[in-house]
Amino acid sequence: MSDKNVKRVLECIISTSNNNITVTDEKGFILFTNPNHWWIYGIEPDHYLGKSVYQLETEGILSPSISAMVLKEKTPVQIMQQTKTGKIVMSTAFPIFDDDGDLVRVVSYAQDQTEIRNLQDQYGQLEKKIQEYQSEVEELREQEELIYRSKEMQQIANTILRVSKTDATVMLLGESGVGKSVFARRLHNQSYRSKEPFIEVNCSTIPESLFESEMFGYEAGSFTGAQKHGKQGLIEQADNGTLFLDEIGELPLDMQVKLLNVLQEKTFKRVGGKKEHKIDFRLVTATNQNLEEMVEKGAFRLDLYYRLNVIPVQIPPLRERKEDIAILINHNLEIINKKYKTDKKLHPSTYEILIKHKWSGNVRELENLIERLILTSEDSIIFPGFLPSHFHGQESLEKKDDILMIDQMMVEDHDLKTALEQVEKWMMLKASKQCKSTYEMAEFLGISQPSVVRKMKKYKDQLTIQQGN
């Protein structure tokens, strides 16, 4: 090939390249370059022709010029540059030597990295977002922290921790609101399935006619009203994770058979489907019913009962673990005060009543009560008078020496007027409990009956006085 043709080939390679290729002589004058790519430097092709890279450097077009660097260093160089147009460019340049070892040419390649940089930035931001979400999920997990001090609950927590490392079927027993659902979730979170789904199903809330399709899902067009493409059932959703069947005593008998089958075979079929699907989940159940009695009455299958009752965990009601009441009250005061940006405290007498309360709704009742008290009380101290009426009438209160009730807490941090009002409110509450009418109250307090009525009006939102007249 003639020199002319070689030059043509070279020019063709350079001009069709995706990179900005530039060849300079030993003095830095541009000999060839592909004109398509100088726009990233913000100049027209005729601007650089015949110019040296030193001149372009002085004009601020190349800052710095990589070819100038190679001419000086006589070795290959690679740098990142930002051009006048804001583009990020990766430049690489190589020296070319003749037979005598003299540098005769420099060839440089510049590649626009702006898009890649943008993608990298976006990727970094996405990664940061994912990390934020991950820590949020972890925080949420920690938020379902269980609060207890009693030995019974410590033992239960230990049992849950131990069995969480296995796939054993756990049955949580206990009254409503004792924390069965929270323990079920903790069991899942502590298990090796924690990154997989936790599916909670309350068997009492699914209508009997829908049970099968809800649990097992259905194939497309299997019944009227079914979704066009079929639907995953709850069992399928729990695959690899934990299925928590709450109120298992409400499971209809025909479903009991089907559930037993799934547990034995580790497979299931969607409604209207023929294919057996493999399934792997950890089962946790909960009930407040006496399943043994239900078995005797024929309302619950014995074989399923045995399968479910592998590890029964009985959670005692709150009234049987009084140490937990105080700590739960404090915990809830703290989080609910934080939620509403308040700083309300319970009067010691209010505490005393709450500790002795029966708590038939257990922790749920306690949580709701504290929230209600914080929201409805106007004072920073919550007096027993704010408690709903069913908390009153407990002999504990009446037996107390009245003087003890007017303690420091009632008057501290208050001016004289407010402190006197607190005492007045307390006296009104006490009178309202001991007397059957406003006349009796007047006699008890040593004031007139109209004054009693007036004061009751004044404190009506804060006193739960149930007087006829």
Ligand X SMILES: Nc1ncnc2c1ncn2[C@@H]1O[C@H](COP(=O)(O)OP(=O)(O)OP(=O)(O)O)[C@@H](O)[C@H]1O
Query: What is the smallest separation between the CB atom of 244 and Mg ion, expressed in angstroms?
Result: 9
Q: How far is CA 181 from the centre of its chain?
A: 16
Contact partner, 157, from ligand X, Mg ion, none, Cβ < 5-8 Å per class = none
- Could you say which of ligand X, Mg ion, none residue 182 binds, taking C-beta under 5 to 8 angstroms by partner kind? ligand X
Site residues for ligand X, 243-302, by CB under 6 A, read: 246, 288
Interface of this chain with ligand X, residues 224 to 253, rule: CB under 6 A: 246
- Measured from each CB, the residue nearest to Mg ion is 181
Question: What is the per-residue DSSP string for 167-227?
Answer: ---EEEE--TTSSHHHHHHHHHHTSTTTTS-EEEEEGGGS-GGGHHHHHHEE-TTSSTT--
Whole-angstrom distance, CA of residue 382 vs CA of residue 240: 48
Q: Is residue 203 near ligand X by the rule CB under 6 A?
A: no
Q: Cα 258 vs. chain centroid, distance in angstroms?
A: 34
Minimum Å gap between C-beta 314 and Mg ion is 15
Query: Site mask, ligand X, residues 46-75, x = CB under 6 A?
Result: ------------------------------
- Least distance between ligand X and beta carbon 143 (Å): 9
What is the DSSP annotation of 396-423? Answer: HHHHS-HHHHS-HHHHTT--HHHHHHHH
Does the protein bind Mg ion through residue 181 (CB under 5 A)? yes
Among 180, 344, 357, 433, binds ligand X (CB under 6 A): 180
How many other CB atoms sit within 10 Å of the CB of residue 273? Answer: 16
DSSP single-letter state for residue 390: G
Q: What gap in Å lies between CA 22 and CA 110, rounded to an integer?
A: 9
| 114 is a site residue for Mg ion (CB under 5 A) | no
Binding part of the chain for ligand X, among 69-77, 145-153, 227-235, 440-448 by CB under 6 A, reads 145-153
CB of 180 to Mg ion, least distance (A): 5
148 makes contact with ligand X (CB under 6 A): yes
Q: How far is the CB of 330 from ligand X (least distance, A)?
A: 11
Binding of ligand X at residue 178 (CB under 6 A)? yes
Compute the least distance from the CB of residue 327 to ligand X, in Å. 9
Taking CB atoms, the residue at the shortest distance from ligand X is 179
Pairing of strands 381-382, 345-346: parallel
Contact call for residues 313 and 168 (beta carbons, < 8 A): no
- The helix or strand, by DSSP H or E, that contains position 122, with its residue range, turns out to be helix 114-143
Work out what residue 179 binds among ligand X, Mg ion, none; the CB cut-off runs from 5 to 8 Å by kind.
Answer: ligand X
Q: Among Mg ion, ligand X, none, what does residue 146 contact (CB within 5–8 Å per kind)?
A: ligand X
Does 363 contact ligand X by CB under 6 A? yes
Task: Give the list of residues 6+ apart from residue 246 with CB closer than 8 angstroms, or none.
Answer: 180, 181, 184, 200, 201, 202, 203, 204, 285, 286, 287
Residue 337 interacts with ligand X (CB under 6 A): yes or no: no
> Which lies closer to Mg ion via its Cβ, residue 88 or residue 146?
146
Amino acid identity, position 109:
Y
DSSP structure class, residue 40:
G
Answer whether 320's CB lies under 8 Å from 180's CB: no
Residues in touch with Mg ion (CB under 5 A):
180-181, 246
Residues in touch with ligand X (CB under 6 A):
146-148, 174, 176-182, 246, 288, 363-364, 367
